[in-house]
Structures are given as structure tokens and as C-alpha cells.
Amino acid sequence: MRISIPCLYAEYGRYINQFRAIPGNVDCLKPVERRILMAMHTMARTKFTKCAKVVGAALAVHPHGDMSTYGTMVALINRGFIIGKGNFGGQNYEEDSKAAAYRYPECKASPHIEDMAFKYIKHVPWAVLENENEPLHLPCPVPLGLLSSGEFSTITQGISFETTKMPRYQFIDLITRLHEILTTGKGATIIKPHCYGNTVAEDTPGQFESLLTTGIGKIWYCPNYKIGHKYIDILDARNPETGFSKLKKLHIEYPKNIAVEDLSAKGQMRIRVHCKLGSVTTTFINTIVGAVSARVNFKCNVVNNQGQVETHSIDDLLLNSYNAWVEAWRGNLEAKLEGMKSRLHHLEIIQVIRDCYQPQHTTVQDIINEFNKNKTFYNNRGIYECDISETASKGSIKQLIETQLNTASVKREINDIEGSIKVLDKTAVDYIGGLIT
């Protein structure tokens, strides 16, 4: 059987979309980001670990390049998703400073991310996608990939057979919008994307809302600036797309008109653009600000578990993540409930052994013989001869007879868990509301 080249090419495209470039439709993380965070959860939860070791663990699940994987780890550290110790680079006017080789710095899982995204990790769907069994998403009230955190957080981009550009928001804004959707069915607060050190504005009226309701919008990013008598200071950060490339070009093309001076200090960016021709004019301001500003055409493409790329609104993505988080929470409660029911059943078996025990009994078989006299009665209670044999074989008869049985407390806990499951939907909404402070 011959397979056509276009067919193979399409299959390759779907693979790249799903496993490399496009974020998932629940947590909005790319596979490499999710796998790095899982590796952090597994081996660097409580102590600093060499980045090389974590990268190696991630590569066991993510069969791609080590340097690209480390680059993603550096980005997650600079975004505040991972705690880093060592040189993880930065940004300046000339070029992005490079992080140290991964054999030198160390990293540790962020307690905030651990608490938010890994509390119910055992209760989400898992599958072998490429190499190892892994979760299909991280359970979190809001999509992690939409969170703007740290000075280096800009936008999410992905380029393959499909492309995506997704904005990032502050946590409190996403929670506020989500709570409104859950309680009223529609978000009333128009939240806008966030980018540290930038003023964010709509290209045309209604673009912020369009992003929220359709996943498509055109947004302007302009780094904060300060105007002096003969200069403009570009402060804090660059915009998500152009950086300072246009400013550098102006410097080269008009050396007699402008001079660029890098006054950045550790932890703060500051680029001073001098006006050589005299005082700062409106034209000069517009030229310089225009050079460091950019319009981003957002289209929130995400990929589902079948590898299909779809455009989702921010509101849809919020509900996807929330619903998956609630289901994981429900799975956690149901697992606890099953555990307590198993514990209660075990205690009931021990009680039956006590009921069947006579002082003259010396072996397990003696108790089983007594059990069989009322076999039908006990079978109706879900207790069988094999249960008696298995339980009695795990300890001496004397230990079973003397064991303290507290079935009342176990039954109370079962009732409490069952009650929690019944009101879980309301509890989850109340929890989201409690985060709005």
C-alpha cells in the first residue's frame, strides 16, 4: 500500500500542531510547558534541583531538542512559574542576554503553581501521547497559559501549519470575568490584556470585548515612556513583537537627529533617546513612540485532544479550564469516598469475624465454619467467605478480636464526602468568588 506525500505532510502538520506549537484548549499550555511543569512537580517540589536534571526528565516525555526545552524552562522561570537560582538572562537594548548553560543554574517548583495546578493532578485524563503516560492538561481554575506573571510575560505565540497569538491577563482579572460568567451567564467586566511596563490599547473600539467573546482582536502595545526637555526615556519593557528593532534602525538612518543611550540597571530597563535637533516636538514623540509600539493581531487558536485546531474565545477557554478543574476536584472526592467505603467494608468484615468467633475457636477455618451457618444473611450484606479468609489471614485472630472498631466516624466521613459531592458545583463557584479580593 502506497501512502501519498500530501497525506504524510498533513499528518506531520497535525503532529506539529498538537505536540509542539499550539497550546491545549484547556490549560492553554504548549506540551513542552506542561511537561516541564510536570517534571518540576515530580522532582523539584521542595528543593532546588539542577536545571539539566529537570530538562532530562522532561525530555523523557518530550522527545525533542534539549536546548529548545531549556529555553522554554528559562521563559517559565522569567514568567514566575518556576523559581530559579542563577543566571537566567534578561533583556536590554542591544540584545537579550543569554541564560547560563543548564548545567549551572538550579530551579524549584513555585508553591503558587503547585497549589493552583497540581492539587488534583491524579484525577485528570492521562494518556501516552509520545513516550510516557502524562496528563492531558493541568487542572486549574483559570488557564495557566493565559496568566501574565512577571516582567517577561508578553503574549503566547505559536507557528506551525497553524498559527496562534494569545494575550495574557492578570489573575484577578481572569477570576473576576470567570465568576461573572458562572453567576450571571455573561461577563460584564471588560478586562484587557496585560503586559508588564506597557500601555495596552484597542486598535478600534470593541477589540477588548472581541477577544473575550470571539478570540480575535487587534491590540496596541506601547512601552511606558517619560518625556524630558531634549529626550524621551523608554521605560520598563519592550512590546511583544518589535522590541527595539525599529528604534535601532532610526538610530542608524538618522544619526544626526537622534542618539540612543542605554541607561538600564539591574531589574529595570531604561532607554534614553536624545533629540539632537533641539527640544522634543510632537513629531519626534510620535516617531520614537511609534518605533517601539506594535499592533498585535490576536487569534486564539488552540488544539484539542484529537489534534484539531480551533479558534476559541477567552470566555470559552475560561470555562474549559474551570469545568476540567471541577471534574478533577470531583474525581478527588470520589476517590476519597471509595477509599472510605473500602475502609468501612473492611471494618464490617472484622465485626462479622467477631460475631462468628467462639472462645473454643483456634483457627481461621473454625471461624469460617461458623460464618457458613449464617452464610445467606452475611452474603446479603455483601460479605463472603473469601472476605473472611483474606482478612483473617492478615493477622492473628487475637489481633482481630481486640482491634478497636470506629465505624461511626467512618460513616460520618462518608456522609460528609457525599454531601460535598452533591454541592460541589456551588462550592466551586463560591471558591472562585472568594478569590476576588
Give the C-alpha distances (Å, rounded to integers) separating 15 from 18, 171, 304, 307, 407: 5, 31, 12, 7, 53
Long-range contacts of 334-338 (CB under 8 A, 24+ apart): 334/421, 335/122, 335/123, 336/417, 337/414, 337/417, 337/418, 337/421
pLDDT at 390 over 90: no
For the segment 270-288, the average pLDDT, to the nearest whole number, is: 90
Residue-averaged pLDDT of the chain: 90
Q: Cα-atom radius of gyration of the chain, to the nearest Å?
A: 30
User: Looking at residue 370, what is its pLDDT?
Assistant: 85
3-state secondary structure of 56: helix
Residue appearing with cell numbers 516636538: 281
Alpha carbons 139 and 183: distance in angstroms, whole number: 21
User: Looking at residue 7, what is its pLDDT?
Assistant: 67
User: Looking at residue 5, what is its pLDDT?
Assistant: 56
For the segment 319-339, the average pLDDT, to the nearest whole number, is: 98
Under DSSP, the state recorded for 169 is B
The band of 392, judged by pLDDT with boundaries at 50, 70 and 90, is: confident
Evaluate if pTM is beyond 0.85: yes
Query: Could you report the per-residue pLDDT of 208-233, keeping only the tens digit for each?
Result: 999 999 999 999 999 899 999 899 99
Positive or negative, the CA dihedral 251, 266, 196, 26 is positive
In order of start, what are the domains of the chain with their CATH numbers? Answer: 15-141 (3.90.199.10), 168-299 (3.30.1360.40), 330-434 (no CATH)
The band of 164, judged by pLDDT with boundaries at 50, 70 and 90, is: very high
For the segment 335-339, the average pLDDT, to the nearest whole number, is: 97
Give the C-alpha distances (Å, rounded to integers) separating 106 from 38, 60, 96, 221: 16, 19, 20, 33
Query: Could you report the per-residue pLDDT of 166-197, keeping only the tens digit for each?
Result: 999 999 999 999 999 999 999 999 999 999 88
User: Looking at residue 1, what is its pLDDT?
Assistant: 46
3-state secondary structure of 89: coil
For the segment 333-347, the average pLDDT, to the nearest whole number, is: 94
Alpha carbons 330 and 417: distance in angstroms, whole number: 10
